Structure 1
Amino acid sequence: MSTTEAVIRPETPADGRRIEALLDHAFGPGRFVKVSERVREFARFRPDLSFCAEADGEVVGLVRLWDIHIGQTPALFLGPLAVHSGRRLDGLGGRLVEHAGAVADARGEGPILLVGDPPFFERFGYAAPPTAGVRLPGPVDPRRVLVRGASQPLSGPVRP
Protein backbone atom coordinates (compact mmCIF):
# COMPACT_ATOMS: atom_id res chain seq x y z
CA MET A 1 0.00 0.00 0.00
CA SER A 2 1.31 3.40 -0.99
CA THR A 3 2.15 6.02 1.60
CA THR A 4 1.01 8.84 -0.70
CA GLU A 5 -1.14 11.32 1.23
CA ALA A 6 -4.79 10.41 0.81
CA VAL A 7 -7.12 13.11 -0.46
CA ILE A 8 -10.61 13.23 1.05
CA ARG A 9 -13.27 13.95 -1.53
CA PRO A 10 -17.03 13.45 -1.96
CA GLU A 11 -18.13 9.92 -2.76
CA THR A 12 -19.49 9.50 -6.30
CA PRO A 13 -21.57 6.76 -7.94
CA ALA A 14 -18.49 5.81 -9.98
CA ASP A 15 -16.79 4.72 -6.73
CA GLY A 16 -19.27 1.88 -6.13
CA ARG A 17 -17.13 -1.09 -7.15
CA ARG A 18 -14.03 0.22 -5.37
CA ILE A 19 -16.04 0.97 -2.21
CA GLU A 20 -17.47 -2.55 -2.11
CA ALA A 21 -13.96 -3.98 -2.49
CA LEU A 22 -12.74 -1.79 0.40
CA LEU A 23 -15.68 -2.84 2.61
CA ASP A 24 -15.05 -6.52 1.84
CA HIS A 25 -11.37 -6.03 2.68
CA ALA A 26 -12.07 -4.10 5.89
CA PHE A 27 -14.99 -6.10 7.31
CA GLY A 28 -15.51 -9.31 5.34
CA PRO A 29 -18.92 -10.95 5.05
CA GLY A 30 -19.62 -10.44 8.77
CA ARG A 31 -20.53 -6.83 8.06
CA PHE A 32 -23.97 -7.87 6.85
CA VAL A 33 -25.10 -9.19 10.25
CA LYS A 34 -24.26 -6.12 12.34
CA VAL A 35 -26.93 -3.88 13.84
CA SER A 36 -25.48 -0.96 11.87
CA GLU A 37 -26.41 -2.76 8.67
CA ARG A 38 -30.01 -3.03 9.93
CA VAL A 39 -30.06 0.76 10.33
CA ARG A 40 -28.66 1.31 6.84
CA GLU A 41 -31.42 -0.90 5.41
CA PHE A 42 -34.03 1.76 6.25
CA ALA A 43 -32.05 4.98 6.59
CA ARG A 44 -31.76 7.44 3.70
CA PHE A 45 -28.23 7.59 2.32
CA ARG A 46 -26.66 11.05 2.26
CA PRO A 47 -24.21 11.13 -0.65
CA ASP A 48 -23.65 14.83 0.08
CA LEU A 49 -22.24 13.84 3.49
CA SER A 50 -20.29 10.74 2.43
CA PHE A 51 -16.62 10.85 1.58
CA CYS A 52 -13.85 8.71 0.11
CA ALA A 53 -10.16 8.94 0.76
CA GLU A 54 -8.18 8.34 -2.41
CA ALA A 55 -4.47 7.74 -2.92
CA ASP A 56 -2.78 6.74 -6.15
CA GLY A 57 -6.15 6.22 -7.82
CA GLU A 58 -7.39 3.78 -5.17
CA VAL A 59 -10.16 4.26 -2.61
CA VAL A 60 -8.33 3.64 0.68
CA GLY A 61 -10.94 5.03 3.06
CA LEU A 62 -14.65 5.71 3.33
CA VAL A 63 -17.12 7.36 5.69
CA ARG A 64 -20.87 7.51 5.05
CA LEU A 65 -23.70 9.36 6.77
CA TRP A 66 -27.40 8.51 6.70
CA ASP A 67 -30.59 10.34 7.73
CA ILE A 68 -32.37 8.81 10.72
CA HIS A 69 -34.58 9.82 13.61
CA ILE A 70 -34.01 8.89 17.23
CA GLY A 71 -37.53 8.98 18.55
CA GLN A 72 -38.68 12.35 17.19
CA THR A 73 -35.18 13.85 16.91
CA PRO A 74 -33.70 14.17 13.40
CA ALA A 75 -30.15 12.85 13.39
CA LEU A 76 -27.46 11.28 11.24
CA PHE A 77 -26.02 7.79 11.46
CA LEU A 78 -22.32 7.35 10.74
CA GLY A 79 -21.15 4.17 9.09
CA PRO A 80 -19.46 2.46 7.72
CA LEU A 81 -16.09 3.96 8.45
CA ALA A 82 -13.56 1.85 6.59
CA VAL A 83 -9.85 2.24 6.02
CA HIS A 84 -7.63 -0.12 4.06
CA SER A 85 -5.45 -2.15 6.44
CA GLY A 86 -2.31 -0.66 4.91
CA ARG A 87 -3.46 2.84 5.94
CA ARG A 88 -4.83 2.26 9.44
CA LEU A 89 -1.88 3.71 11.32
CA ASP A 90 -1.66 7.05 9.53
CA GLY A 91 -4.70 8.76 11.08
CA LEU A 92 -6.87 8.45 7.99
CA GLY A 93 -9.89 7.10 9.88
CA GLY A 94 -9.82 10.06 12.23
CA ARG A 95 -9.46 12.50 9.35
CA LEU A 96 -12.53 10.98 7.68
CA VAL A 97 -14.60 11.16 10.90
CA GLU A 98 -13.57 14.77 11.49
CA HIS A 99 -14.24 15.78 7.89
CA ALA A 100 -17.73 14.27 7.76
CA GLY A 101 -18.59 15.83 11.12
CA ALA A 102 -17.31 19.25 10.09
CA VAL A 103 -19.32 19.23 6.86
CA ALA A 104 -22.45 18.07 8.73
CA ASP A 105 -21.95 20.82 11.34
CA ALA A 106 -21.46 23.48 8.64
CA ARG A 107 -24.78 22.43 7.11
CA GLY A 108 -26.60 22.63 10.44
CA GLU A 109 -27.30 18.92 10.72
CA GLY A 110 -28.36 17.35 14.01
CA PRO A 111 -26.53 14.90 16.23
CA ILE A 112 -24.50 12.05 14.74
CA LEU A 113 -25.06 8.55 16.13
CA LEU A 114 -22.85 5.53 15.55
CA VAL A 115 -21.98 2.10 16.87
CA GLY A 116 -18.24 1.91 17.38
CA ASP A 117 -15.14 1.65 19.50
CA PRO A 118 -15.32 4.22 22.34
CA PRO A 119 -11.55 4.81 22.70
CA PHE A 120 -11.33 5.71 19.01
CA PHE A 121 -14.48 7.83 18.65
CA GLU A 122 -14.33 9.64 22.02
CA ARG A 123 -11.34 11.59 20.66
CA PHE A 124 -13.76 13.22 18.19
CA GLY A 125 -16.42 14.21 20.72
CA TYR A 126 -18.57 11.05 20.69
CA ALA A 127 -19.95 9.80 24.01
CA ALA A 128 -22.22 7.02 25.26
CA PRO A 129 -24.12 8.66 28.18
CA PRO A 130 -26.56 10.66 26.00
CA THR A 131 -27.58 7.43 24.20
CA ALA A 132 -28.87 5.46 27.20
CA GLY A 133 -32.46 5.68 25.91
CA VAL A 134 -31.67 4.92 22.25
CA ARG A 135 -33.13 1.68 20.86
CA LEU A 136 -31.43 0.17 17.82
CA PRO A 137 -32.99 -2.51 15.59
CA GLY A 138 -31.10 -5.42 17.13
CA PRO A 139 -28.80 -6.36 19.96
CA VAL A 140 -25.84 -4.10 20.61
CA ASP A 141 -23.43 -3.42 23.46
CA PRO A 142 -24.77 -0.10 24.86
CA ARG A 143 -21.21 1.08 25.59
CA ARG A 144 -20.61 1.12 21.81
CA VAL A 145 -23.62 3.34 21.01
CA LEU A 146 -22.14 6.83 20.79
CA VAL A 147 -23.29 10.28 19.75
CA ARG A 148 -21.86 13.73 19.22
CA GLY A 149 -23.74 16.98 18.98
CA ALA A 150 -26.68 16.01 21.19
CA SER A 151 -27.85 18.96 23.29
CA GLN A 152 -29.77 16.61 25.61
CA PRO A 153 -30.05 12.85 26.24
CA LEU A 154 -31.63 11.01 23.32
CA SER A 155 -34.33 8.37 23.62
CA GLY A 156 -36.55 6.31 21.41
CA PRO A 157 -36.14 3.92 18.54
CA VAL A 158 -33.78 4.60 15.68
CA ARG A 159 -36.06 4.86 12.67
CA PRO A 160 -36.30 6.44 9.18
Structure 2
Amino acid sequence: MTASFPAPLPVLTLQSERRQDGPLVDALIARAFGPGRFTKVSERVREFATFAPEMSVCAWSGERLLGCARMWHVRVGGRPVMFLGPFAVELGERNAGFGARMITRACEFAAAAGETHVVLVGDEAYFGRVGFATAPGRAVVLPGPVDQRRVLVRALTPDAGELAGPVEPA
Protein backbone atom coordinates (compact mmCIF):
# COMPACT_ATOMS: atom_id res chain seq x y z
CA MET A 1 0.00 0.00 0.00
CA THR A 2 1.43 3.36 -0.98
CA ALA A 3 0.93 6.47 1.09
CA SER A 4 -0.56 9.48 -0.60
CA PHE A 5 0.61 12.91 0.35
CA PRO A 6 -1.08 16.18 -0.53
CA ALA A 7 0.56 18.18 -3.28
CA PRO A 8 2.78 20.93 -1.92
CA LEU A 9 1.25 24.38 -1.90
CA PRO A 10 2.62 26.69 -4.58
CA VAL A 11 4.92 29.52 -3.57
CA LEU A 12 2.70 32.57 -3.47
CA THR A 13 3.61 36.16 -4.29
CA LEU A 14 1.11 38.83 -3.23
CA GLN A 15 1.37 42.20 -4.96
CA SER A 16 -0.73 45.20 -5.91
CA GLU A 17 -2.66 44.84 -9.14
CA ARG A 18 -0.79 46.30 -12.12
CA ARG A 19 -2.38 47.66 -15.30
CA GLN A 20 -1.15 44.63 -17.29
CA ASP A 21 -2.84 42.26 -14.79
CA GLY A 22 -6.32 43.55 -15.68
CA PRO A 23 -7.21 41.07 -18.46
CA LEU A 24 -6.09 38.06 -16.37
CA VAL A 25 -7.96 39.34 -13.31
CA ASP A 26 -11.11 39.98 -15.37
CA ALA A 27 -10.93 36.44 -16.81
CA LEU A 28 -10.50 34.92 -13.33
CA ILE A 29 -13.51 36.87 -12.04
CA ALA A 30 -15.59 35.74 -15.03
CA ARG A 31 -14.67 32.08 -14.37
CA ALA A 32 -15.39 32.41 -10.65
CA PHE A 33 -18.72 34.24 -10.83
CA GLY A 34 -20.07 33.98 -14.37
CA PRO A 35 -22.50 36.47 -15.85
CA GLY A 36 -24.71 36.38 -12.74
CA ARG A 37 -22.25 38.73 -11.03
CA PHE A 38 -23.69 41.66 -12.97
CA THR A 39 -27.00 41.41 -11.10
CA LYS A 40 -25.48 41.74 -7.62
CA VAL A 41 -25.62 44.88 -5.50
CA SER A 42 -21.82 44.88 -5.26
CA GLU A 43 -21.71 45.46 -9.01
CA ARG A 44 -23.94 48.53 -8.54
CA VAL A 45 -21.32 49.88 -6.14
CA ARG A 46 -18.47 49.21 -8.58
CA GLU A 47 -20.36 51.14 -11.28
CA PHE A 48 -19.76 54.39 -9.37
CA ALA A 49 -16.76 53.55 -7.18
CA THR A 50 -13.18 54.49 -8.04
CA PHE A 51 -10.87 51.50 -8.56
CA ALA A 52 -7.81 51.40 -6.27
CA PRO A 53 -5.25 49.11 -7.96
CA GLU A 54 -2.58 50.06 -5.41
CA MET A 55 -4.73 48.47 -2.66
CA SER A 56 -6.00 45.58 -4.78
CA VAL A 57 -4.08 42.31 -4.48
CA CYS A 58 -3.11 39.66 -6.99
CA ALA A 59 -1.79 36.26 -5.86
CA TRP A 60 0.78 34.77 -8.21
CA SER A 61 2.58 31.47 -8.39
CA GLY A 62 5.30 32.21 -10.89
CA GLU A 63 3.47 33.54 -13.97
CA ARG A 64 0.12 32.00 -12.96
CA LEU A 65 -2.56 34.19 -11.38
CA LEU A 66 -4.21 32.22 -8.55
CA GLY A 67 -6.42 34.89 -7.05
CA CYS A 68 -7.44 38.52 -6.75
CA ALA A 69 -9.04 40.89 -4.25
CA ARG A 70 -10.06 44.24 -5.71
CA MET A 71 -10.52 47.43 -3.67
CA TRP A 72 -12.58 50.52 -4.51
CA HIS A 73 -12.87 54.03 -3.04
CA VAL A 74 -16.39 54.91 -1.86
CA ARG A 75 -18.02 56.92 0.93
CA VAL A 76 -20.37 55.72 3.64
CA GLY A 77 -22.34 58.48 5.31
CA GLY A 78 -19.89 60.96 3.80
CA ARG A 79 -16.80 59.20 5.20
CA PRO A 80 -14.18 57.84 2.78
CA VAL A 81 -13.87 54.05 3.06
CA MET A 82 -12.81 51.12 0.89
CA PHE A 83 -15.15 48.59 -0.72
CA LEU A 84 -13.67 45.11 -1.26
CA GLY A 85 -14.73 42.92 -4.15
CA PRO A 86 -14.76 41.00 -6.23
CA PHE A 87 -12.55 38.51 -4.53
CA ALA A 88 -11.77 35.28 -6.38
CA VAL A 89 -9.46 32.27 -6.19
CA GLU A 90 -8.90 29.74 -9.00
CA LEU A 91 -11.10 26.69 -8.45
CA GLY A 92 -8.23 24.22 -8.00
CA GLU A 93 -6.53 26.49 -5.45
CA ARG A 94 -9.38 27.08 -3.01
CA ASN A 95 -9.16 26.00 0.62
CA ALA A 96 -5.40 26.65 0.73
CA GLY A 97 -5.64 29.95 2.65
CA PHE A 98 -4.84 32.18 -0.35
CA GLY A 99 -8.08 34.13 -0.02
CA ALA A 100 -7.54 35.07 3.61
CA ARG A 101 -3.96 36.09 2.83
CA MET A 102 -5.07 38.30 -0.08
CA ILE A 103 -7.81 39.98 1.93
CA THR A 104 -5.45 40.56 4.85
CA ARG A 105 -2.87 42.11 2.51
CA ALA A 106 -5.49 44.34 0.84
CA CYS A 107 -6.57 45.58 4.28
CA GLU A 108 -2.91 46.19 5.20
CA PHE A 109 -2.48 48.27 2.03
CA ALA A 110 -5.62 50.26 2.88
CA ALA A 111 -4.51 50.85 6.49
CA ALA A 112 -1.05 51.97 5.31
CA ALA A 113 -2.77 54.47 3.00
CA GLY A 114 -4.68 55.94 5.96
CA GLU A 115 -8.06 54.34 5.25
CA THR A 116 -10.25 53.62 8.29
CA HIS A 117 -12.71 50.95 7.13
CA VAL A 118 -13.28 48.25 4.53
CA VAL A 119 -16.82 47.25 3.58
CA LEU A 120 -17.87 44.16 1.63
CA VAL A 121 -20.83 41.93 0.93
CA GLY A 122 -20.11 38.35 1.94
CA ASP A 123 -20.40 35.48 4.37
CA GLU A 124 -19.45 36.41 7.94
CA ALA A 125 -18.43 32.81 8.67
CA TYR A 126 -15.65 33.20 6.09
CA PHE A 127 -14.75 36.89 6.33
CA GLY A 128 -15.00 36.98 10.13
CA ARG A 129 -11.69 35.06 10.18
CA VAL A 130 -9.98 38.14 8.77
CA GLY A 131 -11.64 40.74 10.99
CA PHE A 132 -14.97 41.51 9.30
CA ALA A 133 -18.27 41.70 11.20
CA THR A 134 -21.86 42.44 10.31
CA ALA A 135 -22.66 46.14 10.14
CA PRO A 136 -25.17 46.78 12.94
CA GLY A 137 -28.79 47.04 11.79
CA ARG A 138 -29.05 48.81 8.46
CA ALA A 139 -26.15 51.12 9.27
CA VAL A 140 -24.44 50.68 5.88
CA VAL A 141 -26.99 51.07 3.09
CA LEU A 142 -26.11 49.69 -0.34
CA PRO A 143 -27.67 50.90 -3.63
CA GLY A 144 -30.04 47.98 -4.06
CA PRO A 145 -31.52 44.95 -2.34
CA VAL A 146 -29.13 42.99 -0.14
CA ASP A 147 -29.34 40.68 2.83
CA GLN A 148 -28.12 43.06 5.57
CA ARG A 149 -26.52 40.12 7.41
CA ARG A 150 -24.05 39.96 4.50
CA VAL A 151 -22.98 43.62 4.74
CA LEU A 152 -19.69 43.36 6.60
CA VAL A 153 -17.27 45.98 7.91
CA ARG A 154 -13.69 45.84 9.16
CA ALA A 155 -12.31 48.81 11.09
CA LEU A 156 -8.65 49.31 10.25
CA THR A 157 -7.79 51.40 13.31
CA PRO A 158 -8.91 51.04 16.94
CA ASP A 159 -10.44 54.53 16.91
CA ALA A 160 -12.19 54.17 13.52
CA GLY A 161 -15.68 54.36 15.01
CA GLU A 162 -18.89 53.01 13.51
CA LEU A 163 -20.03 53.50 9.94
CA ALA A 164 -23.55 54.58 9.06
CA GLY A 165 -25.20 55.85 5.93
CA PRO A 166 -25.51 55.13 2.25
CA VAL A 167 -22.63 53.85 0.10
CA GLU A 168 -21.89 56.61 -2.40
CA PRO A 169 -19.17 57.68 -4.87
CA ALA A 170 -15.86 58.74 -3.30
Fold conserved (TM > 0.5)? yes
- Structure 2 distance, partners of 1:125, 1:26, is 23
1:158 is aligned to: 167
- Report the counterpart of residue 70 of structure 2 in structure 1: 64
Question: Does residue 1:119 correspond to 2:125, yes or no?
Answer: yes
* Residue identity matched to 1:21: A
Whole-angstrom CA distance in 2 between matches of 1:63 and 1:129: 20
Name the structure 1 match of 2:5: none
Amino acid at match of 2:108: A
Deviations 1:4-39, CA, capped at 9 Å, x for gaps: 222111111111221121011111111111100100
Aligned residues: 160
Report the CA distance between 1:131 and its aligned residue: 6.1
CA distance in 2 between partners of 1:126 and 1:76 (Å): 13
Counterpart code for 1:95: R
Which residue, out of 134, 137, 152, partners 2:140?
A: 134
Structure 2, unaligned stretches of length 5 or more? 1-7
Quick one: distance in 2 between partners of 1:148 and 1:92? 19
Written as runs of structure 1 = structure 2, the 5 A alignment for 1:73-92 is 73-92=79-98
Pick from 80, 103, 112 the counterpart of residue 109 of structure 2.
103
**Cα separation, partners in 2 of 1:76 and 1:56, compared to 1, 3 Å:** same
RMSD: 1.7
Alignment partners' CA distance in 1, 2:94 and 2:137: 28
Amino acid in structure 1 at the alignment position of 2:114: G
Q: Secondary structure at 1:49's aligned position in 2?
A: coil
In the superposition, the TM-score normalised over structure 2's length comes to: 0.88
In structure 1, runs of 5+ residues without a counterpart are none
Which whole-Å CA distance do the structure 2 matches of 1:40 and 1:106 have between them?
Answer: 22
**CA shift for structure 1 position 132:** 2.8
Alpha-carbon distance in structure 1 between the residues aligned to 2:95 and 2:52: 27
| 8 Å contact from structure 1 (residues 130, 152) kept in 2 | no
Shift of 1:77: 0.3
How far residue 71 of structure 1 moved from its aligned partner, in angstroms, is: 1.2
Q: Sequence identity of aligned pairs in percent?
A: 47
State the TM-score, normalized to the length of structure 1: 0.93
Give the SS at the match of 1:68.
Answer: strand
Residue type matched to 1:86 in 2?
G
